[in-house]
């Protein structure tokens, strides 16, 4: 499954960014680049719809942290929503649930 990242919904209050495929070493760079671009256009209140992400490795997690850094430095947030089992288990394994705000689905993540 190819890696895709796209803006899905934009409101004044938040933007939903949908990601699908494998978030790993190979796609981490692209992910970081796209998030940076989105934040640079003034959208820093981000909800990441990860419903279609089937796999995350530690490079992918590191990219999520970079995204968090990017959004928060711009005064926004970086919420993760709708995670599948594998991403949840690696996030828990590395205690990143200690850092990220994780929501059951996109609706719950909306402020």
Footprint of another protein (CB under 8 A): 24-26, 28-29, 32, 57-59, 61-62, 65-66, 68-69, 72-73, 77-79, 94-102
Query: What's the closest the beta carbon of residue 89 comes to another protein, in angstroms?
Result: 14
Supply the minimum distance, in Å, between the C-beta of residue 94 and another protein. Answer: 5
Which of 67, 61, 47 shows the shortest CA–CA distance to 110?
47
Residue closer to another protein, measured from CB, 7 or 57: 57
- Give every CB contact of residue 102 below 8 A, 6+ residues apart in sequence: 79, 80, 81, 83, 88, 91
Nearer to another protein, 21 or 100 (CB): 100
Euclidean distance between the first and final Cα of the chain, in Å? 31
C-alpha 47/C-alpha 98 separation (Å) is: 18
Shortest Cβ distance from residue 75 to another protein (Å)?
Answer: 9
């Amino acid at each position: 499954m190819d890696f895709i990242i796209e803006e899905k919904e934009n409101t004044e209050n938040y933007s939903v960014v949908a990601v699908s495929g494998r978030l790993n070493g190979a796609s981490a760079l692209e992910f970081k680049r796209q998030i940076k671009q989105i934040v640079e256009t003034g959208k820093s209140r981000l909800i990441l719809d990860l419903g279609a992400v089937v796999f995350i490795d530690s490079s992918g997690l590191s990219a999520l942290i970079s995204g968090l850094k990017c959004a928060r430095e711009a005064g926004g947030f970086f919420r993760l929503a709708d995670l599948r089992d594998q991403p949840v288990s690696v996030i828990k394994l590395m205690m990143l649930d200690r850092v990220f705000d994780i929501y059951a689905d996109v609706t719950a993540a909306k402020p």
